[in-house]
Amino acid sequence: MATDSVAGLVLAAGRGQRMRVDGDPTPKPLRPLAGRALVAHAPERLRPQVDTLLLNPPEDAAAWRAFGVPCVLDGAHAGCGPLAGLLAGLRAGVHRWVAAVPCDTPCLPADLVARLRAACTARPSARLAIARTADGLQPLCVLVDATLADDLDAWLAAGGRRVADWALRHDPAIAAFDDAQAFVNVNAPHELPTLARALAAA
> How far are the Cα atoms of 9, 37, 143, 180, 191 from residue 6, in angstroms, in the given order?
10, 25, 9, 24, 32
Q: What is the mean pLDDT of the segment spanning 146-165?
A: 96
> How far does CA 41 lie from the centroid of its chain?
12
pLDDT at 171 over 90: yes
Reported as a pLDDT band with limits 50, 70 and 90, residue 3 is: low
pLDDT at 163 over 90: yes
Q: What is the mean pLDDT of the segment spanning 46-67?
A: 90
52/12 Cα distance (integer angstroms): 17
107/191 Cα distance (integer angstroms): 14
What is the model's pLDDT at position 62?
82
The model carries a pTM of 0.91
Q: Following CA atoms 178, 132, 113, 81 in sequence, which dihedral angle do they give, to the nearest 10 degrees?
A: -140
69/71 Cα distance (integer angstroms): 6
Supply angle C-alpha 78, 84, 88, rounded to 5: 100
* DSSP helix/strand/coil, 14: coil
Number of Cβ within 10 Å of residue 158's Cβ equals 7
Q: What is the mean pLDDT of the segment spanning 155-175?
A: 96
> How far does CA 19 lie from the centroid of its chain?
18
Mean pLDDT of the chain: 90
Digit-coded pLDDT (tens) for 119-150? 999 999 999 999 999 999 999 999 999 999 99
Digit-coded pLDDT (tens) for 84-120? 999 999 999 889 999 999 999 999 999 999 999 999 9
